[in-house]
Amino acid sequence: MKSINKTKEWKKLESLSKKMSKKHIYDMFKEDKDRYKKYTIDLDKLTFDFSKNRIDEKVFNSLIDLAKSAGLQEKIEEMFCGEKINTTENRAVLHTALRNRDNHPIFVDDEDVMPEVNNVLKRMKDFSDEVRSGEWKGHSGKKIKSIVNIGIGGSDLGPVMAVEALKPYCKKGLDMHFVSNIDGTHMIEVLKKCKPDTTLFVVASKTFTTQETMTNANTARKWLIDELGKTAVKKHFVAVSTNKEEVKKFGINVKNMFEFWNWVGGRYSMWSAIGLPIMIAIGWDNFEKLLEGGNAIDKHFRTTPLENNIPVIMGLLGVWYHNFFGAESYAVLPYDQYLHRFPAYLQQADMESNGKGVRFDGKYLDYQSGPILFGEPGTNGQHSFYQLIHQGTHLIPCDFIAPIHSHNETGNHHEILLANVLAQAKALMKGKTEKEAEEELIRMKKNKEDIALLKKHRAFSGNRPSNMILVEKVDPFTLGMLVSLYEHKIFVQGVIWQVNSYDQWGVELGKQLANQILPQISAGKNVKTSDNSTKNLIKKIRKARK
Ligand code: F6P
């Protein structure tokens, strides 16, 4: 396998990056009146403007050539067709099948997965209809008022993000809660808001062995049984999992289990039965729109030539900055309060997928792979970390996401919000020269010494890249589009970096060590740890907790 950084396409980009370092995005706008048109794609209810990037035609074409040399088009087909592209776990990667709304057959091990996908969706629909209508009664004959999803990572972040994002579509009178952290505080604080006879727990775990989820589920079960007795479990607990045996062992009837499959990665699973709390909250019709939005991007991704393909371009722009300009991080900045958990959701999607240091063929990478992703909803971020993005020494490419219409058009809030998002993108790109800063200070009637010092502090280099993603409104369809866009952007980068985006061995070591340390803290076992720091910390904790 030829390393991507040894290809002629990569070398060409290296030399272009040197030339591009001398160019300013703002000047490129002045030189080309059509720049916005050239570098903007409209798709359905979404607009992707990537004109404020350090690219020109040569760079853009060379990035596309890099994608071609990495065999991206063929790899896209492999994914959609159910090839086992998760090579270290020998699994297909088929979250796209979960939103395959035309229902064309998709085969894994010679079996069409669509009948089962549709069967589970139908069961989810029937169940969520029952809960929403009040037909599903708790042990003491009362309607369900609180749903508590117990899961972590991919079994939590997608549902919580989507339920928050789609709050205007959520059923009134149904309170949605999410417990993920092993810290007992998380569970206890949620239980304070619930009553046993009107609460339904959804235990969501692909493996049904995850320490946090099983510990939380056991605590919830005890809370319920203490109040209502053991027979209440069947009316107050359902499971979402791939592991029937463990679900049975926990005591949940498999009739109340919603299945998914090993070809659905945890962080790509909100479209599967893991989305059950989303469906309960927003109802089947809206959930279907979410799937349709995801599917619209799938079709775009699979069929559109690379040069007009939004996730491809997003992925390549990331590669451009991470590998040729030394950018190590990446900010996703949603200007919609309902999307406040979107960056957290993407942190897992992106960093668990592409935070890898070994190539497909087992060789270590000698170039940078997945970036550090962070973000906060605008305008909060502006009053927090934007300082560093504007004037700091790091190059941080940004994605701004904004809806044209708000669900809450109160006064001129939304116009102010929109003005801010456009202003931030412009400020990053244009900057402010020392001369402009100086003129400003003169207008402010500052003295000469102050001006000489302050003009540097008040200048902005600009030339800092960003993408702008506008959607009509944050609704189920556009949310589906957004999530699917980022899933495919991550795929594109994984292909270029030659890493398996679908395993997550990096989370295992900590889990193993926690299992070794636990008995040393709780069961008073001899403290046997190879390093002095861990040993002394365990001793200190034990002594204090005696
Ligand atoms: O953090 C590791 C991980 O395996 C994630 O990939 C996954 O989303 C999460 O744990 C939860 O796993 P499970 O759904 O099996 O409980």
Q: What single string gives the DSSP state of each residue in 69-81?
A: HTTHHHHHHHHHT
Q: 162-176 burial string, b = 16+ CB within 10 Å, else e?
A: bbbbbeebbeeebbb
**Inter-axis angle of helices 310-324 and 476-497, nearest 10:** 50
Kindly give the number of the ligand 1 atom that is closest to the alpha carbon of 154. 8
Distance 141 CA to ligand 1 centre (A): 34
Residue nearest to atom 6 of ligand 1 (CA): 266
Give the residue from 408, 338, 311 showing the smallest Cα distance to 72: 311
Report the helix count and the strand count for the chain, using DSSP H and E.
Answer: 22, 13
Is the distance from the beta carbon of residue 476 to the nearest atom of ligand 1 less than 6 Å? Answer: no
507 lines ligand 1 (CB under 6 A): yes
- Burial level of 317, CB count in 10 A (0-12/13-18/19+)? buried
Q: Is the peptide bond before 478 cis (omega within 30 degrees of 0)?
A: no
CA-wise closest residue to 349 among 150, 84, 158, 515 = 158
Tokens 């060379």 belong to 62
Most informative mutation of 91, 264, 507 for ligand 1 (most atoms within 8 A of CB): 507
Cα(480) to ligand 1 centroid in Å equals: 22
Instruction: Return the amino acid letter for 95.
Output: H
What's the 208 CA to ligand 1 centre distance in angstroms? Answer: 9
Give me the pLDDT at residue 527, please: 72
Q: What is the pLDDT along the chain (546 residues), one digit of tens a residue?
A: 899 999 999 999 999 999 999 999 999 999 999 999 999 999 999 999 999 999 999 999 999 999 999 999 999 999 999 999 999 999 999 999 999 999 999 999 999 999 999 999 999 999 999 999 999 999 999 999 999 999 999 999 999 999 999 999 999 999 999 999 999 999 999 999 999 999 999 999 999 999 999 999 999 999 999 999 999 999 999 999 999 999 999 999 999 999 999 999 999 999 999 999 999 999 999 999 999 999 999 999 999 999 999 999 999 999 999 999 999 999 999 999 999 999 999 999 999 999 999 999 999 999 999 999 999 998 999 999 999 999 999 999 999 999 999 999 999 999 999 999 999 999 999 999 999 999 999 999 999 999 999 999 999 999 999 999 999 999 999 999 999 999 999 999 999 999 999 999 999 999 999 999 999 998 777 777 789 999 999 999 999 998
Residue nearest atom 8 of ligand 1, based on CA coordinates: 154
Compute the residue count for the chain: 546
Nearest to 150 by CA among 220, 85, 207, 199: 220
3 pocket-lining for ligand 1 (C-beta < 6 Å): no
d(CA 354, CA 87): 14
Closest listed residue to residue 289, CA positions, set 483, 149, 14: 483
Instruction: Please give the backbone phi and psi of residue 325, each rounded to the nearest 5 degrees, phi first.
Output: -125, 10
Nearest atom (ligand 1) to Cα of 352: 6
Query: What is residue 526's DSSP assignment?
Result: -
Give the H or E element holding residue 99.
Answer: none
The pLDDT value given to residue 1? 87
Catalytic residues: 352, 383, 511
Query: From the CB of 153, is ligand 1 less than 6 Å away?
Result: yes
pLDDT of residue 526: 77
Ligand 1 pocket check for 207: Cβ under 6 Å = yes
- DSSP letter string over 402-468? EESS-S---TTHHHHHHHHHHHHHHHHHH-B-HHHHHHHHHHTT--HHHHHHHHHHT-B-----EEE
Q: Nearest residue CA, atom 5 of ligand 1?
A: 153
Cβ(206) – ligand 1 distance below 6 Å: yes
Q: Are 86 and 93 in contact (CB under 8 A)?
A: yes
Question: How far is the centre of ligand 1, averaged over its atoms, from the C-alpha of 349 (Å)?
Answer: 11
Quote the ligand 1 centre to 154 CA distance (angstroms). Answer: 6
State whether the beta carbon of 262 lies less than 6 angstroms from ligand 1: no
What Cα–Cα distance (Å) separates residue 118 from each residue in 273, 274, 296? 11, 14, 18
Tell me how far apart the alpha carbons of residues 98 and 120 are, in angstroms, rounded to a whole number.
Answer: 10
Evaluate: CB of 99 within 6 angstroms of ligand 1. Answer: no
Cα of 503 vs centre of ligand 1, distance in Å, is 11
- Angle, nearest 10°, between helix axes 508-522 and 211-228? 50
Distance CA 495, CA 486 (A): 14
Mutate to test the pocket of ligand 1, among 207, 269, 490 (most ligand atoms within 8 A of CB): 207
Contact 374, 394 (CB under 8 A): no
User: What is the side-by-side order of every strand in the sheet holding 146-150?
Assistant: 175-179, 146-150, 199-204, 237-241, 257-259
| DSSP class of 505 | G
Does residue 154's CB lie within 6 angstroms of at least one atom of ligand 1? yes
Distance (Å) from CA 473 to ligand 1 centroid: 31
Residue 352 DSSP label: I
d(CA 161, CA 167): 10
266 lines ligand 1 (CB under 6 A): yes
The finding on whether 159 has its CB within 6 A of some atom of ligand 1 is no
Tell me, what's the pLDDT at 530? 80
Q: At a CB cut-off of 8 Å and minimum separation 6, what does 256 contact?
A: 234, 237, 238, 239
Distance between CA atoms of residues 72 and 10, nearest Å: 15
Task: Kindly state the tokens that stand for 322.
Answer: 């991470």
Q: Which residue shows structure tokens 């008995």? A: 519
